[in-house]
Amino acid sequence: MIEHSDRTFNGAGDVPLYYQAWWPAGPVRGVVALVHGVLEHSDRYPALARHLPAQGYALAAFDLRGHGRSGGLRGHVPRWQAYGEDLACFLAEVATDAGGHDRPGLPRFLYGHSLGSLIVLDYVLARPGAASGAIISGVPLDTPGISSPLVRRMAILLSRVTPRLRLPLGNEPAHLTRDPEGRQATEADPLFQRRTSVRWGAETMAAVARIEAAAGRVQVPLLILHGEADPLSLVAGSRRLYRQVAAPGTTLHIYPGGLHEPHNDLQRETVMADVLAWLAERTGANDRQ
């Protein structure tokens, strides 16, 4: 039986952050630390919570500040660095959990989707030894209508004048998955949001530019996942990231017809198989079978 636990911990500036984890009943091969996407939360990854523990991998996740059951102004971040500081606090919680399961020093992998993928990439660039590898899903390096210099200048100006002004992001359920049940669940989800602050927009666009410039320095292997028809984060960004990263073991999977959430779309079983195969290569699980 999978062991599930949840609690609250303090992030940067003592903002309360919601944490949950799923641990295998048997031996643990590794730990996957999940950072979710913008305006959603950590409950929206049921395929991961089901498949990873079943194959011996723990899954730990938290709700970003301003998201889900965590504290903070909804859809807002005062400064981009707060995300990395919160992630460091989260990983300390994961290490505490890992100390009570089987053995210390379990391989640790970061899994970031959308906004979470930017946070993870920024984190491994700053701390190359923080993880054994990273899974990068739906990375928003190429976003329609947002990447132009004019939009960036407007966002910076508004961020200075009225940083907490919240505007629609355009993350409609029809953009996330082709699964009708998944779309209905998103529509009915009281924790799903549709607005971000202009400060969040300015900070995130600046982070994208920094990550793009530094991507060639990524030292850990990446598993890059992207829906080919993703209308929010264009697949060209993932293709570009794959060409830039030279770390051995870096792999790219593009899912034909897939939208923004590969883990919730119609091909999710294929996605889970790809994730598990990549983790098995990194942990030597195939050698023990």
- List the catalytic residues: 114, 230, 260
Q: Do residues 48 and 32 lie in contact, with contact meaning Cβ atoms separated by under 8 Å?
A: yes
Q: What is the DSSP string of 134-173?
A: EEEES--SS-TTTSSHHHHHHHHHHHHH-TT-EEE----H
Is the separation of the CB atoms in 112 and 121 below 8 Å?
yes
Tokens linked to 257:
């017809």
**Which of 99, 67, 83, 39 lies closest to 211, judged by CA?**
83
Q: Which residue do the tokens 């660095």 mark?
A: 81
DSSP 8-state class, residue 113: E
Question: Around Cβ 238, how many Cβ atoms within 10 Å?
Answer: 28
Instruction: Name the helix (H) or strand (E) containing 201.
Output: helix 198-214
Q: Please, are residues 64 and 70 in contact by the beta-carbon 8 Å criterion?
A: yes
Closest C-alpha among 44, 14, 30, 12 to residue 110: 30
Residue 207, helix vs strand vs coil? helix
Residue (of 7, 16, 57) closest to 285 by Cα position: 57
Contact 193, 67 (CB under 8 A): yes
Asked whether 235 and 139 are in contact (CB, 8 A), the reply is no
Beta bridge partner(s), residue 90: none
